[in-house]
Amino acid sequence: MPREEANNDEVHLTVKKIFIGGIRDGLDEDSLRKYFEKFGHINDCFLMHDKDGKTRGFAFLEFDGKIKNRTNI
């Protein structure tokens, strides 16, 4: 997102999927959901794994609509 649009509330109304990086080993999708539910209802949580099943350290969260308290994420 361009910096000029970062403070525009209309742009943020369409944000539904966010990237979460720096996830430590041992954290699962349920833990991510529980933490991020305070920002809005989560439709899907995609914790990325390698071919051996080890987490890759990042995830995508998809919210159902406007994200609450987006400045605190």
Q: Could you list the pLDDT tens digit for every one of the 73 residues in the chain?
A: 566 666 666 655 566 889 999 999 889 999 999 999 998 889 999 999 999 999 999 999 998 876 666 555 5
- Confidence at residue 39, expressed as pLDDT on a 0 to 100 scale: 87
**6 and 22 Cβ atoms separated by less than 8 Å:** no
Q: What angle do CA 66, 15, 12 make, to 5 degrees?
A: 75
- Confidence at residue 72, expressed as pLDDT on a 0 to 100 scale: 54
**45 and 59 Cβ atoms separated by less than 8 Å:** yes
Q: Enter the CATH code of domain 16-66.
A: 3.30.70.330
DSSP state of 51: T
